[in-house]
Structure 1
Amino acid sequence: MALLLVPGFMADETLWDDMLPALARFGPVVHADLRHDTSVEAMARRVLATAPPSFLLVGFSMGGYVARAIARQAPARVRALVLIATSTRGDTAALQKRKGAIASAAPSIAFSGLSRTAVATSLHPDRRDDDALIERIRAMGTRLGGEVFRRQSMLDRPGDLERSGEIRCPTLVVAAAQDQLRSMEEAREMAAAIPCATLAVIEDTGHMIPIEAPRRLLDVIVSWLAAHTAG
């Protein structure tokens, strides 16, 4: 069995570095490529085109939208689904306004990575002065570059709560108790809408759980995956 990992907005495969040794027990790890497409559904199709015949699926933040699309497009191939710090809600008015500003910006403007302020806001309050952590997150965005930033920033994330019943595989929803980007309410409504989903809450971490609290995230994911892949 393979494990397919789907990163979030302006995150690359290094998002999972602290977790890979423990996750490798479930089989080969495959990283989804979200750099090229302009819709969630297109991202899902690209991932499926090169994915193993069947796999365990883990999606973080924006990657949670893509992971759910993958589960809908190829339900027979997804053995289990883990959704981390994500939502089924569509874009807010504030995000739509931000997209408009990005669309109107000159393409020639140099991209220097996500701002320190933007990254710090996504973290637990106690970690917002952690320079090493902030720079690690910013480095992912810098490696992906300006074209990917523009493409992912303009991505339409339609709400898919009403399609939650189409997900038939065992599902774990993981929320961060101090997430300033995705609320507990969003996590609860997602877990309630997906048939037989389980909700787990990780304390003392902000939105970037795979980097802020990898060990606690592993404690939750590994035991749940082991229980749902036995036999």
Structure 2
Amino acid sequence: MMSDPIVFIPGLLCTEALFAPQIAAFADRPIMVADHRHHDSIPDIAAAILERAPERFSLIGLSMGGYIAMEIMREAPGRVSKLALLNTNSRADTPEKSERRTFLIDLTRKRGFTKVPHLLFPGFVHEKNEENEDLKSVVVDMANDTGSDAFIRQQTAITHRTDSRKRLSEITCPSLILVGDGDRLTPLELSQEIHDCIPGSELEVVPGSGHLSTLETPEAVTKALQNFLDRP
């Protein structure tokens, strides 16, 4: 039986490099990595992805990619065969988070974008990886490939996102919720909340991983996704 194509949706300031280990592991399937750089609202990003996506697909979103994936589940649930939400949050933005995003947008406009990835990096990773220069260079490269204009659009979209919790119970396809045990941006309790809301979903907690689980603990995340996606 032919496996469904996979649509990966990266997080804020991330590109296909976020999923490089998983893309390699699923080389036998058609793969699309969504481009989420051109619109400043989650519904518009979701609509653009659905225009380009295969008719039916497995959907994997990390962080901001998860916000977009939850929007896709509201817009076109019949097109998604399996759903994996990685290191994400189903709530709307808090006033404190929105304020921080506004600060980063202003910083980017006034002082340029160069410092922004370095400011964000420590929160992106498990505390043990804060000094990991190899990982940091991947994160900075992804951010530079995304660029300042897209960063501002992405932050605007995230700030105005809707609370997804009320509609999660409508999701009926097999669903995997995955989080790193050291994720400081979207801690375990936020994934637990999503798991509690989606009927029959599975929750996987990855030891020694922070927010960018696909890069920090690639073997564990890939194995969890393979077990999930390969199941009939």
Q: TM-score interval w.r.t. the shorter chain? A: over 0.9
- How far apart, in 1, do the equivalents of 2:36 and 2:85 lie? 16
Taking the TM superposition and a 5 Å limit, the aligned residue runs for 1:134-173 are 134-155=136-157, 156-173=160-177
Describe the SS at the equivalent of 1:154: helix
Task: Please tell me whether the aligned partners of residues 7 and 63 of structure 1 are also in contact (alpha carbons under 8 angstroms).
Answer: yes
Q: Which runs of 5+ in 1 are unaligned?
A: none
Task: Please tell me whether the aligned partners of residues 114 and 142 of structure 1 are also in contact (alpha carbons under 8 angstroms).
Answer: no
Q: Residues 102 and 134 (structure 1 numbering): CA distance in 2 closer, same or farther, change over 3 Å?
A: closer
Describe the SS at the equivalent of 1:17: helix
- How far apart, in 2, do the equivalents of 1:98 and 1:150 lie? 13
Name the aligned partner's letter for residue 151 of structure 2.
F
Name the aligned partner's letter for residue 143 of structure 2.
G
Taking the TM superposition and a 5 Å limit, the aligned residue runs for 1:10-89 are 10-25=13-28, 27-89=29-91
- How far apart, in 2, do the equivalents of 1:43 and 1:112 lie? 25
- How far apart, in 1, do the equivalents of 2:101 and 2:22 lie? 32
The partner residue of 2:183 within 171, 179, 184 is 179
- How far apart, in 1, do the equivalents of 2:208 and 2:108 lie? 39
Task: Please tell me whether the aligned partners of residues 114 and 138 of structure 1 are also in contact (alpha carbons under 8 angstroms).
Answer: no
What RMSD, in angstroms, separates the aligned Cα atoms of the two structures?
1.5
The Cα of 1:22 is off from its aligned counterpart by 1.2
TM-score, with structure 2 as normaliser: 0.93
The Cα of 1:63 is off from its aligned counterpart by 0.3
Task: Please tell me whether the aligned partners of residues 181 and 208 of structure 2 are also in contact (alpha carbons under 8 angstroms).
Answer: yes
Q: Residues 71 and 107 (structure 1 numbering): CA distance in 2 closer, same or farther, change over 3 Å?
A: same
Describe the SS at the equivalent of 2:230: helix
The Cα of 1:65 is off from its aligned counterpart by 0.7
Task: Please tell me whether the aligned partners of residues 117 and 143 of structure 2 are also in contact (alpha carbons under 8 angstroms).
Answer: no
Q: Matched residues, percent identical?
A: 29
**In structure 1, what is the equivalent of residue 114 of structure 2?**
112
Task: Please tell me whether the aligned partners of residues 68 and 167 of structure 1 are also in contact (alpha carbons under 8 angstroms).
Answer: no
TM-score, with structure 1 as normaliser: 0.93
The Cα of 1:101 is off from its aligned counterpart by 2.8
The partner residue of 2:214 within 190, 210, 226 is 210
Once the two structures are superposed, what CA deviation does each residue of 1:68-101 show, in whole Å capped at 9, x if it has no partner? 1112211111000000000101112211112333
The Cα of 1:166 is off from its aligned counterpart by 2.2
- 2:192 pairs with 1:198: no
**In structure 2, what is the equivalent of residue 7 of structure 1?**
10
Once the two structures are superposed, what CA deviation does each residue of 1:119-152 show, in whole Å capped at 9, x if it has no partner? 0222112111111111111110111111011111
- Point out 4+ residue stretches in structure 1 off by more than 6 angstroms: none
**In structure 1, what is the equivalent of residue 223 of structure 2?**
219
Name the aligned partner's letter for residue 88 of structure 1.
S
